[in-house]
Chains A and B, each alone.
Chain A
């Protein structure tokens, strides 16, 4: 059965810390892996990864995919209180739907 597992479930850090969020997956017909940030209700897109070893970067956030070991990580450097959110990992297979992990709840304290 296809599945996505995220760890840790939750994380509390202080501003300025660096965090690494993990996402492992087991899926047939892999097409892409995506990261979303969910602050209130609507998940907002962060990254889409399709190839191993190529880092995607956006400001203080970066992500990379390992298709051999079936995992991805999301790094956030110099965290800010505005980074507090649930971070969701999802894969897209050959179909149209996304399958999400349970999310990692990040709290950044001042």
Chain B
């Protein structure tokens, strides 16, 4: 596609519910990143994929968070047993090559999660 596409754009979940957030990166992009942005804060790194390999998951806040990219394209971020502190915008970003940053990384519009 023309840009990074994320779905759903908005999700309201009841506390304890599982959610799955999808990211379609730009076609051919090798690197894929997930960030979490709480209200009034800057984005915080969650995890990084190079093709299907999850090379860095140091930012995942707990074992309730799980990300996958099984075929090296679409990625899913899953949050189990959601809690109120999980409420945030989840941003996905992709870039063509590993190790390239700046004007070569493209962000999606984000998925806004509200846990009630």
Contact = CB atoms under 8 A, between A and B. Distances in A.
Do the two chains bind?
A: yes
Interface of A: 4, 6, 31-32, 34, 40-45, 48, 88, 90, 92, 95-103
Interface residues of B, number: 28
Interface of B: 4, 31, 33, 35, 40-45, 48, 50, 55-56, 59, 89, 91, 98-99, 101-103, 105, 107-110, 112
What 4 pairs between A and B have smallest CB-CB spacing?
Answer: A100-B42, A48-B102, A41-B110, A42-B107
Given A96-B48, A96-B55, 14 more contacts: A32-B102, A40-B109, A41-B110, A41-B112, A42-B4, A43-B107, A44-B107, A88-B43, A96-B99, A97-B59, A98-B33, A98-B101, A101-B42, A102-B42
A90 B4 CA distance: 20
A97 B56 contact: yes
Contact of A100 (B40, B44, B99): B44
A92 B101 contact: yes
Given A32-B101, A32-B102, A34-B101, A42 B91 contact: yes
Contacts of A48: 101-103
Task: Count chain A CB atoms within 10 A of each CB in B43, B50, B56, B99 and give the residue with the most.
Answer: B43
A41 B89 contact: yes
Contacts, number: 67
A97 B33 CA distance: 8
A88 B42 contact: yes
7 contacts: A34-B101, A40-B109, A41-B89, A42-B4, A92-B102, A97-B56, A98-B33
B20 to A, nearest CB: 19
Nearest to A44: B107
Nearest to B89: A41
Contacts of B89: 41
A25 to B, nearest CB: 12
Task: Count chain A CB atoms within 10 A of each CB in B40, B50, B101 and give the residue with the most.
Answer: B101
Contact of B110 (A42, A44, A45, A102): A42
A96 B4 CA distance: 18
A45 B93 CA distance: 12
